[in-house]
Amino acid sequence: MCISPWNFPLAIFTGQIAAALAAGNAVLAKPAEQTPLIAARAVELMREAGLPEAALQLLPGDGPTVGGPLTSDPRIAGVCFTGSTPVAQIIHKALAENAGPDAILIAETGGLNAMIVDSTALTEQAVRDILISSFQSAGQRCSALRMLYVQEEARERLLNMLDGAMDALTIGDPWNTDTDVSPVIDADAQAEISDYVAAKQKAGKVLKTLPAPEVGTFVTPAVVEVGGIEDLEREIFGPVLHVATFKARDIDKVVDAINDRGYGLTFGLHTRIDDRVQQIVERIHVGNIYVNRNQIGAIVGSQPFGGEGLSGTGPKAGGPLYVTRFRRTAKVEEHAAPEGERVALQSLQSALEGLDARNWAARRDRVEVLRKALSGKSGVIRKALAETAALDMTPQTLPGPTGESNRLAMYPKGPVLCLGPTLDIAVAQAVQALGAGSPVVLVAPGAVQAVKPLREAGARSPGWMG
C-alpha cells in the first residue's frame, strides 16, 4: 500500500510505487486527495509502458474512506507512507493490530528543520540559501527550513539582507517562470497558515511579511521572531520562517535544543570552520545534513532522503537500502513465552539509564568483543555473529556533481530492548544491536548469566535483566 502526499504528487507517488514494484510486490496506490489527477495520468503512462493492471491499482480518495480501511486490512503486507507524523502513528497502530508480524511500515513524516548560520558565513550565500529553503514551493516541502539560528554578531546584517531579498521575490501563478512563491495547496491550508501568522503578528513577533495576491489561496511569506526551536508549537507547512539568535559559545546548546524536539529530517549549516562542521554533524540527530548550501531538493543517488525520530522510519528514499526494505524477511517463527520472573518497570528504567550509548557507539572493535565473548556458540547466536561481522557501516561517498561532497553515513539507532523470547534469541538480537553500535537491555530468563561473558569481554554497556 503506497500512500503519497500532495506536495510531490509525481515524484513521491512514483518513487514509492517503483520501489515496491521493483521488489516484486503488487501495489495499491492512494495518492493525496488534493492531487489524484496527476496520479491518474502517471498510472496511465505506466500502463502504456506495459505495467500490468494486476500489479498496480490506483485508489484515489481521502484518508478515512480509503486509507483507513486498507491499512487495517490483514491482507496488506506493508505500508509506504509519506505525510504527517500523527497519521503515520495511526497507520502504525492499525498495522500492529491487523497485519501480520512481518508487515513493514516505511514512514516519511514532518520535521522542525533548522539551520545554523555563524559569523564566518558569507551573508549573500546564506541569504540565498535561506530564501530557497524556506520559501521555494511556498515552504510546502517536508525538508523546508522552519527555524533559523543566526549568531548574534551576524544577525543585523543577515536580517537586513533577508528583508531586501524577500522584497525581490515574485508571488504569483506557478505557470509563470518568474514566480518564486506560489499559492498554498488549498483554502484549509491557507486559513491555517494565515491564522498562525496573524496570531504572531498580534503578539508583535513578526519581523517581515510580503504582500500576497488577494485572489487565490496565497499566504503571506513571513519571518517570525522566537527564542528558539522550543517556542515552535508545531510544523507550519508554508512559507513561514522562525528566527532566533545565539551566542558563539552556545552553539552546542542550540544543537541540543534541536535534538530535544525529537524530529530529525533536515538540517542546514553555514560556516567556514571545518572543525565546527564535524562537531555539529556528529552531535545533531537528523537524516539529511546540508553544509554551505540550501537544505531542500535531495537528489536520488546523491542525497538519499529520510529522517529519524519523529520524522520517519527510514530507510532513506533514493538510497542503497530502500528497495530491499520492500522484500519479505525470513519466515516468522512462533515461540511460546518462556516461564520467568516478572520484571518490574522500575528496574527496566534503571537499566536503561545505566546505558552508555556514546562510548559503545564510538568503539571500533565491537565485532571482536562480541566474537570473544560468544565464541563456541552455535545456532541463532552464531548466525547473528556472522551477519554482524558482515555489516559494513563505513561512510560511503556517493556520486554527484563536481565541487561538492555527498556522504552517506550510518549511525546506531540507540538503546534496543531485546526480549527474546528465548534466551538464545535474545542474545542473538543483542549481538545484532551491539554489533551495529546500539546498547541493549536484555530481558529473558537467565539473562544475568548470559551477559557475563559479554561484559567480561569489554561490552560494558549492555544492561540486563533476569
Partner 1 sequence: MTELTPDATASKQRARIRANYAAAEAKVLGELVERIKLSEDGRKKVAEAGANYVARVRKERSPSMMEAFLAEYGLSTSEGVGLMCLAEALLRVPDAETIDDLIHDKIEPSDWGAHLGKSSSSMVNASTWALMLTGKVLDDDPKGPTRALRGLVRRMGEPVVRTAVGQSMKILGRQFVLGQTIEEGMKNARELEKQGYTYSYDMLGEAARTDDDAVRYHNAYAKAITAIAKQAKGDVRGSPGISVKLSALHPRYEYTHRETVMAELLPRAKELVRQAAKANIGFNIDAEEQDRLDLSLDIIEALMADDSLEGWDGFGVVVQAYGRRAAPMIETLHALAERYNRKIMVRLVKGAYWDTEIKLSQEMGVETFPVFTRKVNTDVSYMACAQMLLDRRDRIYPQFATHNAHTCAAVVAMAGDDKDSYEFQRLHGMGESLHHIVKETDGTHCRIYAPVGAHRDLLAYLVRRLLENGANSSFVNQVVDESISPSEVSRDPIAGMQQLGEAVSSPLIRQPGELFAPDRKNSRGYRINEPASILPLLDARERFADTTWTAAHAGGQPGAQRACPGCLIAGRYLARGRAGV
Question: Using CB under 8 A as the criterion, which residues of the chain lie in contact with partner 1 when the complex forms?
Answer: 33-37, 40-41, 59-61, 65-66, 118-120, 122-124, 127-128, 151, 153-154, 161, 163-165, 167-168, 170, 172-178, 182-186, 215-218, 248-249, 272-276, 300-302, 399-404
156 is catalytic: no
Angle between helices 152-167 and 123-135 (to 10 degrees): 60
Question: Catalytic pick from 48, 80, 97, 108?
Answer: 108
Comparison of 193 and 450: residue with beta carbon closer to partner 1: 193
CB closer to partner 1, 96 vs 273? 273
Question: In sequence order, what are the beta bridge partners of 149?
Answer: 116, 244
CB of 270 to partner 1, least distance (A): 11
What's the min distance (Å) between Cβ of 204 and partner 1?
A: 24
**At its nearest, how many Å lie between partner 1 and the CB of residue 121?**
8
> What is the number of other CB atoms lying within 10 angstroms of the CB of residue 427?
27
Contact between 190 and 156 under an 8 Å Cβ cutoff? The reply is no
407 beta partners = 397
Cα(293)–Cα(276) distance, integer angstroms: 16
Among candidate residues 142, 235, 308, 418, the one labeled active-site is 142
Answer whether 146's CB lies under 8 Å from 114's CB.
yes
Contact 375, 456 (CB under 8 A): no
Q: Which residues pair with 28 in a beta bridge?
A: 57
The vertex-26 CA angle with 21 and 319, nearest 5°, equals 30
Give me the least distance between CB of 37 and partner 1, in Å please. Answer: 5
Residue 154 or 317 having the CB closest to partner 1: 154
Render 393-441 in DSSP notation, one character per residue: ---EEPP--TT---EE-------EEE--SSHHHHHHHHHHHHHTT--EE
Nearest distance in Å: CB 252, partner 1: 13
Query: Do residues 408 and 398 lie in contact, with contact meaning Cβ atoms separated by under 8 Å?
Result: yes
142 among known catalytic residues: yes
The set of catalytic residues is 108, 142
